[in-house]
Structure 1
Amino acid sequence: MDYAFRLDFKVRDYECDMQGLVNNGVYQNYLEHARHEFLLASGINFAQLAKANINLIVVKAELHYRFPLKSGDNFRVDLNVRRSSKIRFEFIQDVYRYPDDKLIMNATITGTAINEKGRPMLPDEIAGLFPE
């Protein structure tokens, strides 16, 4: 599969549980960081949107854990984005371990934006990410 964006990581000791495996909650941090970096690379400043009273929010997170990561593992998060409705979009994210390219987990994160009145909307900046 071709991806729109890729971000490399290395597991840090403090991200692991007593079993020496990455805690399942930490994966959401990896995914979120990759989404933010993708938006920045696409010319969308998350903080500037918030200052304009446009807040990007996650409305659904579906994660499928396949194999664990351990301290010191190098890995990447690959990402695609698609529009799923008039006001929602989805990040399709896959985590692969280096050097064997083993699929560690995949996720679909559904998001939208809300305006200053708390109403869902899709700002032009985000809508521009999707091909017509």
Structure 2
Amino acid sequence: MSNSSFQLNFKVRDYECDMQGIVNNGVYFNYLEHARHEFLHQKGVNFAELAEAGIHLVVVRAEMDYKASLRSGDEFYVEVVPERPSKTRFAFRQTVVRVSDGKIALQALVIGTALNQRGRPYIHEQVDQVFPLPATTAS
């Protein structure tokens, strides 16, 4: 895990599984979202404060590659690695890893932006500090 990455532990609950006995594909969105929110909270991004200022963080793209199934009772973690693909977008590379064998269950890329009161992209200072622009993009 790199210095800028974050890891959050989970355990699969019975009701998250489908008739095949594996985690339903849609549930992974919830795991990823919760891990992103905890990551941002840990980095000092205050959703309520931003919303009061008319700044809304939104997902504009989500890709998920399913690699292995999780079952009820499986312990796993979601690793979150922040990236900054452009001036107006930020990204989360996320990996779901089963603890028992270290197997990757899912890899995801979630891209977001922040919108101001007029619905225009606006990267607030709190977000900018978590997702700094690479030196080549900043100029």
Give me the TM-score of the superposition, normalised by structure 2.
Answer: 0.91
Residue 131 of structure 1: CA displacement?
4.2
Q: State the aligned residue count.
A: 132
After the TM superposition, which residues 13-92 of structure 1 pair with which residues of structure 2 at under 5 Å, given as runs? 13-92=14-93
State the SS of the aligned residue for 1:31.
helix
Residue 47 of structure 1: CA displacement?
2.2
Gaps of 5+ in 2: 134-139
Cα RMSD, aligned residues only:
1.2
Distance 2:57 2:11 in 1: 27
Distance 1:130 1:63 in 2: 21
Structure 1's consecutive aligned runs of 4 or more residues displaced over 2 angstroms after TM superposition are none
Query: Partner letter of residue 96 of structure 2?
Result: V
String of CA shifts for 1:65-101, please: whole Å, max 9, x gaps. 0111000000000011011101001100000001211
Give me the TM-score of the superposition, normalised by structure 1.
Answer: 0.95
Gaps of 5+ in 1: none
Residue 130 of structure 1: CA displacement?
3.0
Q: Percent identity?
A: 55
